[in-house]
């Protein structure tokens, strides 16, 4: 499963950023217009809340793992907020599987 998680980390980093890059290329590199786009309708607002709650839960898990002595879990936080939950979650699962396997 570790390799599956690692593949998901890579796909979870590349795929969202292909869309982010396309959006930024079309609209400019300011974050304000992108944040405005998150709230254009109820569906996008629901995704913002869904992913924000997941990102917070993932961050708390990462911090608990850091306190338990696994400093590699610090990588989960920038992966989650810099790329997305699609990268941060499989990274956390990969790190967890590394210890158990």
pLDDT digits (tens, 9 = 90+) for 28-66: 999 999 999 999 999 999 999 999 999 999 999 999 999
What are the extents of the domains in the chain?
2-100
Whole-prediction pTM value?
Answer: 0.90
Check residue 36 and give its pLDDT.
93
Residue 92: band (very low, low, confident or very high) from pLDDT cuts 50, 70, 90: very high
- Rounded to whole angstroms, the Cα distance separating 101 from 29 reads 42
The alpha helices in the chain, defined as continuous H runs, are 2-27, 31-37, 42-67, 76-82, 85-100
pLDDT digits (tens, 9 = 90+) for 2-30: 999 999 999 999 999 999 999 999 999 99
């Amino acid at each position: 499963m570790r390799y599956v998680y690692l593949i998901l980390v890579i796909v979870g980093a590349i795929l969202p950023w292909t869309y982010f890059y396309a959006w930024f290329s079309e609209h400019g590199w300011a974050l304000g217009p992108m944040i405005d786009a998150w709230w254009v309708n109820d569906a996008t607002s629901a995704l913002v809340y869904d992913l924000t709650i997941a990102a917070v839960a993932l961050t708390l898990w990462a911090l608990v793992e850091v306190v338990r002595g696994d400093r590699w879990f610090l990588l989960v936080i920038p992966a989650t907020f810099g790329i997305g939950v699609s990268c941060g979650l499989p990274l956390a699962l990969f790190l967890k599987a590394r210890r158990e396997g």
